[in-house]
Amino acid sequence: MRFQTFTFLFLTPLLALSGCANKKNKQYAGVDGDYVSGTPLGERTEGANFMGANVQRGQYASVQFGYDSSTVAPDQESKVVAVADALKGSGKTVIVAGFTDERGTQEYNRSLGEKRALAVREALIAKGMKANNVQTVSFGSEMPVDPASNDAAWAKNRRAEFGVVK
């Protein structure tokens, strides 16, 4: 019994510390930025909150998505270009918020909303914005544009919105 207790008490911290070992290329989630599909997420702008008073929302058209999709469709790319062209030389930070319709679990929708925000982020970077000036957040199915439960409402709610930090 003592041997099992000793083994447990010795191995548990050892295993926990091994999980904190250096990652490949010294990439640390949350310390030096999160690495998602190769482009590091920049440091969060202090006091920047998508719903905060210091963030201007509604200035740019939302990017709409297909059902269960996180791909920016060709007919939505002009919206991304408009944001990138307006902001890429300004040094301003934009927050991309991903949303979903009400179908699916809360966890799934939060994940899908993040994938949508990240897809728009990557598109903005491809159009010339600096990676450290583009942040993301997911609200999943929270804050629907249209609270109805039908195809038209669900299509409106599958979106990514832009907020510009003042």
Is residue 86 in a domain? yes
Is residue 135 in a domain? yes
pLDDT for the residue 102 = 97
Long-range contacts of 53-59 (CB under 8 A, 24+ apart): 54/165, 54/166, 55/95, 55/163, 55/164, 55/165, 55/166, 56/163, 56/164, 56/166, 57/161, 57/162, 57/163, 58/161, 59/162, 59/164
pLDDT digits (tens, 9 = 90+) for 102-139: 999 999 999 999 999 999 999 999 999 999 999 999 99
Instruction: Look at residues 41, 127, 122 and name the one whose alpha carbon lies nearest to residue 81.
Output: 127
Is residue 29 in a domain? no
Is residue 83 in a domain? yes
pLDDT for the residue 30 = 37
CATH number of the domain to which 104 belongs:
3.30.1330.60
pLDDT for the residue 49 = 84
Is residue 5 in a domain? no
pLDDT at 8 > cutoff 70: no
Q: How many domains does one find in the chain? A: 1
Provide mean pLDDT across the span 90-111: 97
62 Cβ contact list (under 8 Å, min separation 6) = 79, 159, 160, 161, 162
Between 120 and 18, whose confidence is greater? 120
Is residue 140 in a domain? yes
φ, ψ (nearest 5 deg) of residue 67: -60, 130
**Host domain of residue 148:** 46-165
Percent with pLDDT over 70 in the chain? 71
pLDDT digits (tens, 9 = 90+) for 33-89: 444 455 666 666 565 688 888 999 999 999 999 999 999 999 999 999 999 999 998
Provide mean pLDDT across the span 84-107: 96
